[in-house]
């Protein structure tokens, strides 16, 4: 890490940072960012070294809690923000739904009960819970078993009517239909519709054991994979995996022993097949029997409630979304935000309209804003760095500031910023990454004790080389601010 020159020398050297007058006091109005300043040379040089023109970059640095320097570059240019768009979705949800907001998933009796037997259907009604994982579905099963139910002689009806969405094409974004990040929103999403294939090397036996979590009923995967020597490298490619038959995946290649234990999260099953297979495994594993099948439907009016699961509170959901940049969770939150403001069932159209309306009413209107799903997993979403900086400034002054800041990855410590190098331990930031996009937005605590909002977005075919410049920007704010 380079040693930064004293603040006065650095500001004189670049000749472009406005410094607040020494006569200013903390009682004076907080300064807004200014179009007259520019980013530091260390950032400009890093961008040029990566072959990225300044015209492809937007930067805003603005103080939050008193006088300090400001810097901007192309602040009002609409750009694809990638996952930094999640800041808009999560902050709007925290402000309107509240940190304690929860979702409910219900089990209802759509048939009739005869002792320990259900004659007719059992219904599972989703409320859009973004965080419903297999352990929580297991708890619902235990609630039903605790009621004395054992034999299900009808179908499991999946009521997804809380979301009104078009069919989701998992291959539409990048052609990789099996990747977990391409899973679409679903009012009854369980475990992100994903299966973790875990590979555990056994060097003494010269083999690699395969474990599947959760183990859906009917899935038959090889128990072992052939071991190989050599560097780990592209271990997924070396497996020569074949998921053409998702209930019988094949691994025709080898797994390098040097890799150690590895996990591969994929979504090879359609949502109804996945949920049906996981439910069957949990139900039969708890001593129950089920002779029916799984199918979509609507819970009949007046069906008695048997069991319910309440999600973790929104503050914890937001932490999972931002720390790990979970796209489908962000889309669920975006849909829920719109439905709670404009009425259920949820739809992307309602959410887009509701978010624009809320921004205008909150004094944060963003005329350049283009929304698709609120997650940033999009080729069309657009926002300016200036608008994101105003959002962060508003968040800093809001009652939900602690919840939002705590949800952001801490640079060099956790989440998607664990391996970042700029302002290690002093910056809470949301990162953004697409093929032609690199972005960072969040809060930096400078050595002076001042806090800054920092936003930087690069849209360019060489954006992959922008990491050094973004890290340098965070480091510069931390050391100089």
- Residue spans per domain, the chain: 7-99+315-480, 104-171+182-188+270-311, 195-266
Residue 252 CA to residue 247 CA, distance in Å, equals: 16
Q: Percentage helix, strand, coil, to 5, in the chain?
A: 35, 25, 45
- Domain 7-99+315-480: assigned CATH number: 3.40.710.10
CA of residue 90 relative to chain centroid, distance:
10
Task: State the average pLDDT over residues 114-125.
Answer: 97
pLDDT at 43: 97
Confidence of residue 382 (pLDDT cuts 50, 70, 90): very high
Residue 137 CA to residue 122 CA, distance in Å, equals: 14
Contact call for residues 292 and 154 (beta carbons, < 8 A): yes
**Span of 9-13, 54-58, 324-328 with lowest mean pLDDT:** 9-13
Residue 186 CA to residue 189 CA, distance in Å, equals: 5
pLDDT at 213: 95
By the 10 Å C-beta count (0-12 exposed, 13-18 middle, 19+ buried), 419 is classed as exposed
Q: How is 359-404 classified by DSSP, letter by letter?
A: HHHTT---TT-B-SSSSS--SS-BB-HHHHHHHHHHHHTSTTHHHH
pLDDT in tens, 456-479: 999 999 999 999 999 999 999 999
Task: State the average pLDDT over residues 187-199.
Answer: 97
- The tally of CA atoms less than 13 A away on the side-chain side of residue 7 is 14
Total residues belonging to the chain: 481
22 has a pLDDT exceeding 80: no
23 has a pLDDT exceeding 80: no
pLDDT in tens, 231-254: 999 999 999 999 999 999 999 999
Residues near 455 by beta carbon (within 8 Å), at least 6 away in sequence:
58, 59, 60, 61, 84, 385, 386, 388, 389, 392, 439, 440, 441
Residue 139 CA to residue 157 CA, distance in Å, equals: 18
Question: Which architecture does CATH list for 104-171+182-188+270-311?
Answer: 3-Layer(bba) Sandwich (3.50)
Q: What is the pTM of this model?
A: 0.91
Question: And the tokens for 49?
Answer: 């070294």
Confidence of residue 19 (pLDDT cuts 50, 70, 90): very low
* Sheet with 104-109, edge to edge strand ranges: 294-296, 156-159, 122-125, 104-109, 305-310
pLDDT at 27: 33
pLDDT at 11: 34
Beta-strand runs (E) in 246-353: 250-251, 254-256, 262-266, 289-290, 294-296, 305-310
């Amino acid at each position: 890490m380079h040693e930064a020159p004293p603040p006065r020398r650095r500001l004189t050297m670049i000749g472009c940072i406005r410094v607040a007058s020494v006569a200013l006091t903390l009682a004076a109005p907080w300064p807004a960012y200014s179009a007259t300043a520019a980013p530091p040379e260390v950032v400009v040089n890093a961008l040029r070294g990566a072959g990225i023109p300044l015209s492809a970059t937007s930067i805003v640095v603005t103080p939050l809690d008193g006088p300090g320097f400001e810097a901007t570059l192309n602040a009002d240019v609409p750009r694809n923000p990638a996952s930094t768009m999640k800041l808009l979705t999560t902050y709007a949800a925290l402000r309107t739904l509240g940190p304690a907001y929860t979702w409910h998933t219900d089990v209802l009796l759509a048939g009739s009960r005869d002792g320990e037997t259900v004659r007719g259907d059992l219904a599972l009604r989703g409320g859009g819970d973004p965080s419903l994982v297999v352990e929580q579905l297991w708890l619902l099963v235990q609630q039903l078993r605790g009621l004395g139910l054992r034999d299900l002689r009808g179908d499991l009806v999946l009521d997804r009517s809380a979301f009104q969405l078009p069919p989701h094409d998992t291959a539409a974004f990048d052609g990789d239909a099996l990747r977990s990040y391409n899973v679409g929103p679903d009012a009854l999403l369980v475990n992100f519709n994903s299966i973790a294939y875990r590979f555990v090397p056994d060097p003494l036996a010269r083999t690699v054991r395969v474990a599947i979590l959760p183990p859906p009923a009917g899935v038959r995967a090889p128990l072992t994979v052939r071991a190989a020597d050599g560097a780990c490298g592209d271990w997924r490619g070396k497996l020569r995996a074949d998921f053409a038959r998702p209930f019988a995946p094949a691994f025709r290649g080898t797994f390098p022993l040097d890799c150690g234990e590895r996990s591969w999260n994929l979504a090879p099953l359609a949502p109804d097949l996945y949920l049906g297979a996981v439910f069957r495994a949990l139900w039969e594993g708890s001593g129950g029997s089920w002779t029916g099948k799984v199918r979509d439907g609507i819970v009949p009016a007046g069906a008695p409630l048997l069991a319910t699961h309440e999600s973790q509170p929104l503050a914890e959901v937001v932490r999972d979304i931002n720390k790990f940049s979970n796209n489908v969770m962000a889309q669920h939150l975006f849909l829920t935000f719109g439905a709670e403001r404009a009425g259920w069932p949820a739809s992307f159209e309602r959410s887009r309209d509701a978010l624009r309306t809320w921004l205008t009413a909150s004094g944060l209107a963003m005329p350049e804003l283009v929304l698709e799903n609120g997650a940033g997993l999009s080729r069309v979403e657009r926002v300016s760095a200036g608008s994101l900086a105003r959002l962060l400034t508003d968040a800093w002054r809001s009652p939900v500031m602690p919840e939002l800041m705590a949800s952001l990855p801490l640079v060099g410590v956790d989440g998607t910023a664990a391996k970042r190098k700029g302002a290690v331990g002093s910056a809470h930031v949301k990162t953004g990454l697409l093929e032609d996009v690199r972005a960072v937005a969040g809060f930096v605590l400078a050595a002076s004790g001042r806090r800054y909002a920092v936003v930087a977005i690069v849209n360019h075919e060489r954006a992959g080389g922008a990491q050094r410049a973004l890290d340098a920007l965070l480091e510069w704010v931390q050391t100089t601010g």
